[in-house]
Chain A
């Protein structure tokens, strides 16, 4: 302690031993300043920063040169996030005592780190923006800004308190309480924090008890914050602890719903696919059926053609092997030849040849057949022709003209070169009243035997017939 007058160090006396000035009151003032400093130090030690500030300011009011009190005050300000206030105290402290002053270190710590200084400045600016938003009524923007401030400087008590106030105004009591708790962790006896906390606790307790039923119904939730998440849990929800039966029932209901969904959604599509496939199969089989039908028709036509061919072949076969077939006729021809060769019976041979000629067209037979037939006929013919002529003439004379015609025809057949037979035949026709045949026969005579007596007589008979008609 130094004398206020001369600056000499004071003794235990109430006067200055150098200049004699009365220093009793002065000493008391110094003592009071020191007392407040001690009090502030004690409060700072238990984190009663607000109380420490009050005590230290009191100390400085009594003695502005109390360097320790001023330095401590700067520290307390810095701990509360009031960096500019802290710097102010340290600068003043350094001006009062330039040498051997810890304030020099504090100032150097801040100013040496440019990014930290800039962060401090940004924090203050954002806080001021937030305050401006609050005054203007833009509370949401203020909240956003304050969150940014507190991200930069988590110990900024005024920002915490302003944010808590905004939460309280928005009735977000839980969040307000959280902010106030942070303040109280930094400054244990902050009056404003304690008052806000009292209000928050009051509102939270009243919310649990006296909320009206309608509002309870609306707000029946519990909110709490877990780290950075706000969890809202409904209160009236009971967890299903029944287990077994309800689970099985739920599974059954789910199966029923799934089956219904399958039935209404999947089955129609499957059915449609099946129908499409069926239609395709139907078309395919229809096409195959058409092909088979056409093949069937072709086959039927072939069958009809084959049947016709078969019937024709059968007819041919019958013609060959039948009763009057070729084989049979050949047999008869061979038989006729055998009769003649064995018995030389002219009549039987002639009859056989006649029957053959009646049943078939000899000219359509094979060459060998015709040769044999004509051979037999030429062999037998002339011989039998004479017999037939004699018989026929006999019947003519007996006026049995029909029989005469029969035998004379055979005679002409076997020997067409016999004019007598031909003429007699014509006469038999004439006598029998068959004029047309008679005329035809007479024409044959005239044609075959021209310039002969036979031709003349035939001509004469013919005229007579024509005259009669």
Chain B
């Protein structure tokens, strides 16, 4: 049996057009490639393979 209150919690207000710009700016675009490069840099491995 579906509980209305519990299901309602899964719904959220939708972003309006005016809020789109802020949402875009706040979006984290870090991906796996970025993580990989960061890890490589932190490890200190010479990018030339040394």
Contacts and interface: CB of A to CB of B under 8 A. Distances in A.
Interface string B35-46: 011001000010
A125 B16 contact: yes
Label chain A's interface by main secondary structure: helix
Contact of B14 (A87, A117, A124, A199): A124
A168 interface: yes
A84 B17 contact: yes
A88 B7 contact: no
A454 to B, nearest CB: 171
Contact of B2 (A62, A87, A158, A165): A165
B49 A22 contact: yes
Given A84-B14, A84-B23, A26 B48 contact: no
Contacts of A5: 37, 47
A121 interface: yes
Contacts of A22: 40, 45, 49
Interface in A17-40: 19-22, 25-26, 29-30, 32-33
A19 B47 contact: yes
Contact of A62 (B12, B33, B48): B33
B14 A88 contact: no
Contacts of B2: 165, 168, 195-196, 199
A14 to B, nearest CB: 11
Nearest to B30: A64
Nearest to A4: B37
Contacts of A62: 31-33
A135 B8 contact: yes
A385 interface: no
A20 B27 CA distance: 33
Interface string B1-20: 11010011011111111011
Nearest to B29: A64
Contacts of B8: 134-135, 165
Contacts of B16: 84, 121, 124-125, 128
Contact of B49 (A20, A26, A135): A20
A359 B40 CA distance: 191
A85 B15 contact: yes
Contact of A21 (B7, B19, B27, B47): B47
A5 B48 CA distance: 10
A26 B33 contact: yes
A169 interface: yes
A127 B14 contact: yes
Contacts of B24: 88, 91-92
Given A26-B36, A62-B32, A117 B17 contact: yes
Contacts of A117: 17
Contacts of A4: 33, 36-37
23 contacts: A4-B36, A26-B33, A33-B31, A62-B31, A62-B33, A64-B30, A65-B31, A84-B15, A84-B23, A85-B15, A88-B23, A88-B24, A91-B24, A121-B16, A121-B17, A128-B14, A131-B12, A135-B8, A165-B11, A168-B2, A169-B4, A192-B10, A199-B2
Given A64-B31, A88-B27, 19 more contacts: A4-B33, A5-B47, A20-B47, A20-B49, A22-B49, A33-B31, A60-B31, A61-B32, A63-B31, A63-B33, A64-B34, A84-B15, A84-B16, A120-B17, A124-B16, A125-B16, A128-B16, A165-B7, A169-B4
